[in-house]
């Protein structure tokens, strides 16, 4: 089976990760690439300032970049990935949905909408059924599915594993986030070298709300947020890729660090082509200095989460977690959602 896919915003930082991840994909074949008016009409090679660490795949280099509008994209495309700036996406995505396209999107618009599935396939695949509610509400033939923010994806699998075993009541997280999370021109070198910036606009609210939606329950008609309180403090640091996060959790039960490590490491993955064999890798007491962005972000093609430093506090547990923000946290997240849509028969 071949699934024909397109990428909206294909020339950007996340768009380039899509191109990398789709190279050699067993079922997805790239048949459309779009970007802004200034890129439209050029070959992908000429339009994209390619900054990835592998060459542009040959079969993609000569594809002509199209305008980001349904009239400029073939009806034969089965699935669109979207990595547009959220202001652009909020205007453009509905046009594609009205035209009947299925869109797996990275952009932050509509993530918290009541009828839009916000999904990590290993955590809440059942939320995909919100698509029925969405189609009833909006009269769309298409479907919109979102993946969460990169900092949220890094932490939520660990919360899900601990919640399943011990019940999460509260999570406090402090992030150390890589510059690629802001896009190529997001943070200048003069701002970030020899520095750390203790504020990322809107990021804390995204972590606090998206986490509760991902861990929430969908009863077939409505989705209720998880009761846990989540507090986030987000910081930009001068790493290139990989978000490192320190998490403190209050749990209903009182597991030992060893029991928590076991729950994290044994949390089940999912059988999809781009999913890691093991979702969460846990470093033991003998490696308290791991995970680290440079050494651990590429685990399992950048799709696995790494955890270390699991230890007790007077009110619960603390640990560090890490994921690759443009792979697991962005393009890889949308790609997995696309694979889930195919697996569940929505495409
Ligand atoms: N970077 C991350 O780690 C990360 C993680 C999670 C989510 N996200 C989200 O993913 C999205 C993309 O981020 P990014 O870092 O890849 O951004 P980026 O590097 O700035 O790329 C933006 C893309 O959108 C296109 N574009 C810009 N304005 C447009 C317009 N008016 N009409 C059509 N296309 C337009 C650009 O085309 P041109 O090249 O022609 O300008 C480019 O292809 C954002 O919503 C971001 O919040 C990013």
Host domain of residue 189: 150-324
Q: Identify the three-state secondary structure at position 2.
A: coil
**Which pLDDT score, from 0 to 100, does residue 281 have?**
98
Q: Are residues 108 and 58 in the same domain?
A: yes
Distance CA 146, CA 120 (A): 9
DSSP annotation string for 124-165: -GGGGGHHHHHHHHH--SSEEEE---HHHHHHHHHHHHHHHH
Q: What is the pLDDT of residue 52?
A: 85
- Tell the residue nearest (CA) to atom 25 of ligand 1: 9
Span from the CA of 82 to the centroid of ligand 1 (angstroms): 9
Q: Please tell me whether residues 123 and 190 are part of one structural domain.
A: no
**Using a 6 Å cutoff on CB, does residue 90 contact ligand 1?**
no
pLDDT of residue 304: 98
Residues 240 and 263 grouped into a single domain: yes
Burial class of residue 235 in the structure, from the number of CB atoms within 10 Å of its CB (0-12 exposed, 13-18 middle, 19+ buried): middle
Which of 159, 115, 147, 119 is CA-nearest to residue 133?
Answer: 115
* Cα–ligand 1 centroid distance for 8 (angstroms): 9
pLDDT in tens, the chain (347 residues): 899 999 999 999 899 999 999 999 999 999 999 999 999 999 999 999 998 889 999 999 999 999 999 999 999 999 999 999 999 999 999 999 999 999 999 999 999 999 999 999 999 999 999 999 999 999 999 999 999 999 999 999 999 999 999 999 999 999 999 999 998 888 999 999 999 999 999 999 999 999 999 999 999 999 999 999 999 999 999 999 999 999 999 999 999 999 999 999 999 999 999 999 999 999 999 999 999 999 999 999 999 999 999 999 998 999 999 999 999 999 999 999 999 999 999 99
Q: Whose CA is nearest to atom 18 of ligand 1?
A: 12
Atom of ligand 1 nearest to the CA of 49: 39
Mutate to test the pocket of ligand 1, among 33, 84, 326 (most ligand atoms within 8 A of CB): 84
Q: Is 133 found in the same domain as 46?
A: yes
Query: Do 19 and 98 lie in a common domain?
Result: yes
Mean pLDDT of the chain: 97
Q: Is 60 in the pocket of ligand 1 (CB under 6 A)?
A: no
Phi, psi of 233 (to 5 degrees): -130, 115
| Residue 204's CATH number | 3.30.360.10
pLDDT given for residue 339 in this prediction: 98
Bridge partners, 172 (sequence order): 231, 248
180 touches ligand 1 (CB under 6 Å): yes
Nearest protein Cα to ligand 1, atom 21: 12
Task: Indicate the top mutation candidate among 10, 20, 36, 336 to test ligand 1's pocket, ranked by most ligand atoms within 8 A of CB.
Answer: 36
Asked if 116 and 265 touch (Cβ cutoff 8 Å), the reply is: no
Q: Are residues 198 and 222 in the same domain?
A: yes
> What is the residue-wise DSSP string for 64-89?
BPEESSGGGS-TT--EEEE---HHHH
- Residues 318, 193, single domain; the answer is yes
Tell me, yes or no, whether 241 and 339 share the same domain.
no
> Tens digit of pLDDT for each residue in 143-183?
999 999 999 999 999 999 999 999 999 999 999 999 999 98
Token output for 162 = 């601990």
Indicate the number of domains in the chain.
2
Look at ligand 1, atom 1, and give the residue with the nearest C-alpha: 181
Closest to 280 (Cα-Cα) out of 294, 299, 257: 299
- Measured in angstroms, how far is the CA atom of residue 83 from the centroid of ligand 1? 5
Q: Is 90 in the same domain as 195?
A: no
Q: Whose CA is nearest to atom 33 of ligand 1?
A: 36
* pLDDT tens string 66-79: 999 999 999 999 99
Where helices occur in the chain by DSSP H, the ranges are 13-22, 44-47, 58-61, 86-98, 130-138, 150-166, 189-192, 203-214, 257-265, 293-296, 299-302, 332-343
Q: What is the CATH number of the domain that holds 69?
A: 3.40.50.720
150 included as an active-site residue: yes
- Give the pLDDT confidence score for residue 315 in this predicted structure: 86
From 25, 69, 127, 150, the catalytic residue: 150
Q: Check whether residue 44 and residue 14 sit in a common domain.
A: yes
Both 253 and 307 in one domain: the answer is yes
Q: Give the dihedral sign, CA 284/147/137/102.
A: negative
C-alpha of residue 196 to centroid of ligand 1, in Å: 24
Q: Are 322 and 242 in contact (CB under 8 A)?
A: yes
Q: Select from 7, 8, 9, 49 the residue to mutate for testing ligand 1; criterion: most ligand atoms less than 8 Å from CB.
A: 9
Tokens of 58: 């040959």
Q: Do 219 and 288 lie in a common domain? A: yes
> What pLDDT score does 325 carry?
97
What is the CA(149)–ligand 1 centre distance, in A? Answer: 14
- Cβ of 35 below 6 Å from ligand 1: yes
What's the rounded Cα separation, in Å, for the pair 3 and 26? 10
């Amino acid at each position: 089976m071949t699934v024909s896919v397109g990428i909206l915003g294909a020339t950007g930082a996340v768009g380039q990760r899509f191109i990398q991840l789709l190279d050699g994909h067993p079922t997805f074949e790239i048949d459309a690439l779009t970007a802004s008016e200034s890129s439209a009409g050029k070959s992908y090679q000429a339009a994209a300032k390619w900054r990835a660490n592998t060459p542009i795949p040959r079969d993609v280099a000569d594809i002509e970049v199209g305008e980001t509008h349904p009239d400029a994209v073939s009806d034969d495309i089965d699935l669109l990935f979207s990595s547009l700036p959220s202001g652009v996406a909020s205007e453009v995505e509905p046009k594609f949905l009205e035209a009947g396209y299925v869109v797996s999107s990275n952009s932050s618009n509509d993530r918290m909408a009541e009828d839009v599935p916000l999904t990590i396939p290993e955590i809440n695949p059942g939320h995909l059924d919100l698509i029925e509610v969405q189609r009833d509400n909006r009269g769309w033939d298409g479907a919109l599915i979102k993946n969460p923010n990169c900092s949220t994806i890094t932490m939520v699998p660990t919360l899900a594993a601990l919640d399943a075993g011990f019940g999460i009541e509260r999570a406090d997280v402090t992030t150390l986030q890589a510059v690629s999370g802001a896009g190529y021109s997001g943070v200048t070198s003069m701002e970030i070298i020899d520095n750390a910036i203790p504020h990322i606009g809107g990021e804390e609210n995204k972590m606090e709300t998206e986490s509760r939606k991902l861990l929430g329950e969908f009863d077939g008609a409505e989705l209720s947020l998880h009761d846990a309180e989540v507090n986030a403090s987000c910081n930009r640091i001068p790493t290139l890729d990989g978000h490192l996060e320190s998490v403190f959790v209050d749990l209903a039960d009182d597991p030992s660090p060893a029991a928590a490590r076991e729950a994290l490491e044994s949390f089940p993955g999912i059988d999809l082509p781009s999913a890691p064999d093991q979702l969460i890798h846990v470093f033991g007491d003998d490696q308290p200095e791991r995970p680290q962005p440079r050494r651990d972000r590429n685990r399992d093609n950048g799709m696995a989460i790494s955890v270390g430093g699991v230890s007790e506090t007077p009110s619960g547990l603390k640990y560090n977690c890490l994921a690759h923000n443009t792979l697991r946290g962005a393009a890889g997240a949308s790609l997995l959602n696309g694979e889930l849509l195919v697996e569940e028969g929505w495409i």
